[in-house]
Amino acid sequence: MNKAAFDRLEVPMQQALLRIAANTEARGWRTSQEKNKWYVEQLAANGLKVLPPSESLQGGLRQIGERLTAEWLAKAGADGQSILDEYHGPFPR
């Protein structure tokens, strides 16, 4: 939702929307986890194994992600950095 539009709403409506959003997020995560479990079970039932990625694969994907992020930041500048800082929040990378 657009922040300016949200800010124009009366406080009870804002609170209701925030409650609905929190419930929707929780339901979405739960559904995602259930579906993921089901998909893995279906793969196993059909003779496929789902294995964790190797350290090498993880490292390669991390390097690609870092490179793409750096390229994007070079174009996005301070606004882009601000978006990443907000996205990462207090969580260490």
**Tens digit of each residue's pLDDT (9 = 90 or more) over 23-60:** 999 999 999 999 999 999 999 999 999 899 999 999 99
Determine contact, residues 1/17, Cβ cutoff 8 Å.
yes
Q: What is the pLDDT of residue 18?
A: 96
**Tens digit of each residue's pLDDT (9 = 90 or more) over 68-86:** 999 999 999 999 999 999 8
- Is residue 14 exposed (0-12), middle (13-18) or buried (19+ Cβ within 10 Å)? middle
Q: Is the pTM of this model over 0.75?
A: no
**Residue 93 confidence (pLDDT) above 90:** no
